[in-house]
């Protein structure tokens, strides 16, 4: 490699690192704010080192805020709803994607076409009738009233993603198992699913993210403060504190970002792979 | 019927039941509701023909929100396409620390719309936000960016670019990796410079990726302003499920037409 090329790469790396840090600054500012005592939050010029630091805002929003739904409770609700939705999505889409990738049957192309076509329908279009349906089922302000519609929202995408992956698995293994007398369910659970762990993981993360971050559906489907998931509770928190204090609001924002941040740090490559497969291998 | 003919349907059953009840049925029910005078809490509803649609013709707030949605879509398209593309092309030039860089740009995409909103409200706060201080120090006259209609849209576009760039960056990077290196080598032998090969090789071959980004394969929430109006009509002010459903269907058709147009436009381009 010539010297000029090497110098150019170092400069380019430096430039991109500066841009990446700038990109992270808004998030850093949120974290810094959440750690400052109230009287230090509004300072001119802005202080980027939260010293003296406090975790008091975290304690307040998690446990003692009587003004709104407690963030601690909302955190628990979000975990239940997101994990529940992940379980439903992964199970139903894997089961549906398998015959679409591997079996020949009447109506296969129609079913697949309908599922892919449904990805074009904005969620807002079915907001009102979905409310009517969930109300009729008596599911307002319940976990199933959040889990099942969230799962239905991600199902078609999951089928699409998994089918693309199943198509890439060589079919010799399945043929061999079939000759040994395995039935389709055994082939599916003992051969196909274990081979698909990476893409199942990517789908799980995707489903978790979309359930964890959804705001509009829980906003209308839940009217008991005890059942609010995090995004709704956070929005209310802002209403309750107004501009009076950014500390607790920012602490709530950090808490709500934490689980996905951890998942993201642990499974960075897998998420990227999932996005890649879903977008380009169509 | 031969043995096992039911097997594929058994595999499909749970998922399709979920899909039929919670996606297909509500879509059709919404179409029906849009022709009725349904309200929250009203047990019976009557068919009112196209009255809800006719009322939308006079609903100036709906027009404004539809216009804002169109304006946002057009204005945000270029930055949402170009910023991640620029970053992807730079990142693809053999720089170090790729994982860190990609992660830093991707991080905002893991946040919820509420968290993103709270973050930028605080950053852009016209009195005590940090951006206010730095802009003043740089001699820029500070306004209430989010309250002023002239700047609110751009503040939202800035926020959205910050939010979704990492997602599209990852997609572009994958698309760039799928372009065979030999094409660039051949172009270099023929004397094409970096700029020339970007326009003649990279851009045309990324076409499927542009298509994905544009047709809302991602979080594209261009519909926000209309959805806000729809939400208020259905759940806050009037509890008019009928007219909210009519709005939803108008929105749906507009988006469909718009997507098909984009599809056509990009498809009609160079073929490889």
In chain B, what percentage of residues exceed pLDDT 70? Answer: 90
Residue B6 clears pLDDT 60, i.e. is over it: yes
The residue ranking higher by pLDDT, B67 or A204, is A204
* Banded pLDDT at B232 (limits 50, 70, 90): confident
Mean pLDDT for all residues in chain A: 88
pLDDT for the residue numbered A276: 67
pLDDT value at residue B220: 41
Evaluate if residue B2 carries a pLDDT over 70: no
Q: Check residue A185 and give its pLDDT.
A: 94
Helix residue spans in chain A (DSSP H): 3-34, 38-41, 56-59, 71-102, 108-118, 127-136, 143-166, 172-179, 184-187, 193-195, 197-213, 216-221, 230-241, 246-266, 268-280
From chain B, the residues in CB contact with A215 under 8 A are 112-114
Q: Which of B30, B122, B167 sits opposite A129 (nearest CB)?
A: B30
* Percent above pLDDT 90 for chain B: 18
Q: Which two tokens stand for residue B191?
A: 């004397």
Q: Which CATH number fits the domain that encloses residue A266?
A: 1.10.3720.10
The angle subtended at Cα B158 by Cα B154 and Cα B160, nearest 5°, is 115
Radius of gyration of chain B (CA): 24
Distance from CA of A22 to the nearest CA of B (A): 9
Q: Residues A43, A78: one domain?
A: no
User: Is the same domain home to A263 and A145?
Assistant: yes
Same domain, A111 and A185: yes
Domain boundary (A54, A75, A90) is at: A54
How many domains does one find in chain A?
2
Contact indicator for A233, A252 with CB cutoff of 8 Å:
yes
pLDDT at A67: 59
Residues A262 and A169 in one domain: yes
| For residue B170, pLDDT beyond 80 | yes
- For B52, list phi and psi in degrees, rounded to 5: -65, -40
- Whether A141 and A43 map to the same domain: the answer is no
Spell A193-209 as b/e; 16+ CB within 10 A means b: eebbeebbbbbbbbbbb
A and B: number of Cβ contacts within 8 A? 259
Tell which wins on pLDDT, A133 or B195: A133
At A243 the pLDDT is 56
Q: How far does B150 lie from chain A, in Å, by closest CA?
A: 23
The residue count for chain A: 282
CA nearest to A105 within chain B: B8
Confidence class of residue B223 from pLDDT cuts 50, 70 and 90?
A: low
pLDDT, tens digit, 9 for 90 and up, residues B203-213: 887 877 776 66
On whether both A99 and A201 belong to a single domain, the answer is yes
Q: Which residue in A has a C-alpha nearest to residue B93's C-alpha?
A: A9
pLDDT at res. A42:
80
Contacts of A278 in chain B (CB under 8 A): 217
For residues A122-146, give the mean pLDDT.
93
pLDDT computed for residue B218 by the predictor:
39
Q: What is the pLDDT of residue A68?
A: 55
Assess whether A27 and A68 both reside in one domain. no
Q: Are A108 and A99 in contact (CB under 8 A)?
A: yes
Q: Is the distance from CB of A150 to CB of A217 less than 8 angstroms?
A: yes
**Together in a domain, A114 and A50:** no
- Stated pTM of the model: 0.87
Q: List Cα–Cα distances, A218 to A80, A144, A236, in angstroms.
A: 13, 11, 13
Distance CA A115, CA B216 (A): 16
Which burial class, exposed, middle or buried, applies to B165 when counting CB atoms under 10 A from its CB (0-12, 13-18, 19+)? Answer: buried
CB contact under 8 A, A88 and B18: yes
Residue A184's pLDDT band, with cuts at 50, 70 and 90, is very high
A4 touches chain B (CB under 8 A): no
Query: Which is higher by pLDDT, A14 or B113?
Result: A14
Q: Does B263 touch chain A if contact means CB atoms closer than 8 Å?
A: no
Tens digits of per-residue pLDDT, A223-240? 998 899 999 988 888 777
CB contact B119 to A (< 8 Å): yes
Measured between CA atoms, how close is A184 to chain B, in angstroms? 8
Residues B12-43 pLDDT 10s: 999 999 999 999 999 999 999 999 988 887 77
> Of A119, A121, A124, nearest to B256 (Cα)?
A121
Domain end position, chosen among A54, A71, A93? A54
* Domains, chain B, with CATH or none: 59-113+143-267 (1.10.3720.10)
Q: Which two tokens stand for residue A68?
A: 């709104």
For residue B138, list chain A residues with Cβ-Cβ distance below 8 A. none
Q: Are residues A180 and A198 in the same domain?
A: yes
pLDDT for B25 equals 96
Q: Are residues A196 and A178 in the same domain?
A: yes
At residue A282, does pLDDT exceed 50?
A: no
Task: Collect all residues with Cβ–Cβ distance below 8 Å to B147 and sequence separation of at least 6.
Answer: B126
pLDDT at A83: 97
Judged by CB atoms closer than 8 Å, whether chains meet at A12 and B99 is answered as: no
Predicted confidence band of residue B217 (pLDDT cuts 50, 70, 90): very low
Provide the domain limits for residue A88. Answer: 61-280
Taking only residues 7 to 66 of chain B, the set having a beta carbon closer than 8 angstroms to any beta carbon of chain A reads 7-9, 11-12, 14-16, 18-19, 21-27, 29-30, 33, 38
B40 contacts B244 by C-beta, under 8 angstroms: no
Are A256 and A137 contained in the same domain? yes
pLDDT of residue B97: 87
Cβ–Cβ below 8 Å for A280 and B171: yes
Higher-confidence position of A107 and A198: A107
The answer to whether A99 contacts B11, with C-beta atoms less than 8 Å apart, is yes
Distance CA B30, CA B227 (A): 15
Residue-wise pLDDT for A265-278, tens only, equals 888 777 676 666 66
Residues with Cβ within 8 Å of A50's Cβ and at least 6 positions away in sequence, in order, are: A32, A33, A35, A36, A40
What would the pLDDT profile of B61-103 be if each residue is shown by its tens digit?
A: 888 888 887 888 778 888 888 999 999 999 988 788 888 898 8
Determine the pLDDT at residue B271: 43
pLDDT of A279: 60
For residue B139, the tally of other CB atoms under 10 A from its CB is 6
- Select from A103, A118, A234 the Cβ nearest to the Cβ of B114: A234
Q: Which residue out of A19, A50, A126 would a mutagenesis test of the B interface target, given it has the greatest number of B Cβ atoms within 10 Å?
A: A126
Cβ within 8 Å of B, A 111-170: 111, 114-115, 118-122, 124-133, 148-149, 151-153, 155-156, 159
How confident is the model over B259-271, as pLDDT tens digits?
777 777 766 554 4
Is pLDDT of B216 > 70?
no
Residue in B24, B104, B171 closest to A279 by CB? B171
Q: How many CB atoms lie within 10 A of CB A268?
A: 15
Query: Do A29 and B130 form a contact (C-beta atoms < 8 A)?
Result: yes
User: DSSP per residue over A216-239, as a string?
Assistant: HHHHHH--SGGG--HHHHHHHHHH
Pair A30, A87 in one domain: no
């Amino acid at each position: 490699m010539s010297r000029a090329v090497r110098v150019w790469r170092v400069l380019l790396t430096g430039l991109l690192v500066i841009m990446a840090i700038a990109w992270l600054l808004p998030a850093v500012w949120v974290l810094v704010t959440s750690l400052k005592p109230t009287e230090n939050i509004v300072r001119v010029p802005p202080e980027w080192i939260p010293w003296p630091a406090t975790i008091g805002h975290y304690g307040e929003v998690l446990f003692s805020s009587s003004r709104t739904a407690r963030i601690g409770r909302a955190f628990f609700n979000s975990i239940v709803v997101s994990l529940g939705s992940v379980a439903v999505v992964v199970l139903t889409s894997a089961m549906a994607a398998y015959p679409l990738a591997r079996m020949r049957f009447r109506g296969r192309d129609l079913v697949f076409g309908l599922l892919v076509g449904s990805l074009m329908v904005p969620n807002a279009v079915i907001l009102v009738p979905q409310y009517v349906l969930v109300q009729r089922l008596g599911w307002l302000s319940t976990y199933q009233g959040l889990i099942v519609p969230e799962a239905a929202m991600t199902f078609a995408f999951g089928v699409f993603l998994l089918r693309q992956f199943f198509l890439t698995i060589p079919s010799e293994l399945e043929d061999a198992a079939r000759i040994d007398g395995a039935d389709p369910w055994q082939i599916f659970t003992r051969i196909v699913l274990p081979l698909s762990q990476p893409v199942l993981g990517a789908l799980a993360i995707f489903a978790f993210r979309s359930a964890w971050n959804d705001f509009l559906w829980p906003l209308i489907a839940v009217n008991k403060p005890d059942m609010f998931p995090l995004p709704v509770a956070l929005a209310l928190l802002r209403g309750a504190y107004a501009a009076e204090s950014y500390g607790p609001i920012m602490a709530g924002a950090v808490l709500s970002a934490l689980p996905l941040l951890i998942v993201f740090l642990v499974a960075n490559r897998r998420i990227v792979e999932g996005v890649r497969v879903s977008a380009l291998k169509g | 019927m031969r043995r096992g003919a039911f097997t594929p349907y058994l595999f499909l059953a749970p998922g399709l039941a979920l899909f039929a009840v919670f996606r297909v049925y509500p879509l059709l029910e919404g179409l029906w509701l849009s022709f009725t005078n349904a309200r929250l809490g009203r047990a019976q509803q009557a068919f009112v023909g196209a009255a809800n649609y006719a009322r939308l013709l006079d609903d100036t707030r709906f027009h404004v929100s539809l216009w804002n949605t169109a304006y946002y879509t057009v204005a945000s398209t270029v930055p949402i396409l170009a910023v991640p593309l620029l970053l992807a092309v730079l990142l693809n030039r053999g720089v170090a620390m790729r994982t860190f860089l990609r992660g830093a740009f991707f991080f905002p995409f893991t946040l919820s719309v509420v968290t993103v909103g709270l973050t930028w409200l605080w950053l852009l706060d016209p009195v005590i936000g940090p951006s206010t201080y730095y802009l003043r120090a740089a001699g820029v006259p500070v306004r209430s960016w989010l309250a002023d209609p002239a700047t609110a849209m751009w503040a939202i576009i800035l926020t959205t670019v910050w939010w979704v760039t990492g997602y599209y960056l990852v997609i572009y990077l994958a698309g760039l990796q799928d372009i065979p290196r030999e094409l660039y080598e051949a172009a270099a032998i023929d004397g094409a410079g970096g700029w020339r090969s970007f326009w003649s090789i990279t851009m045309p071959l990324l076409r499927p990726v542009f298509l994905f980004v544009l047709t809302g394969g991602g979080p594209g929430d261009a519909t926000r302003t209309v959805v806000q109006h729809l939400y208020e009509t259905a759940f806050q002010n009037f509890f008019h499920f009928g007219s909210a459903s009519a709005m939803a269907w108008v929105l749906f058709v507009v988006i469909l037409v718009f997507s098909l147009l984009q599809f056509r436009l990009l498809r009609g381009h160079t073929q490889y």
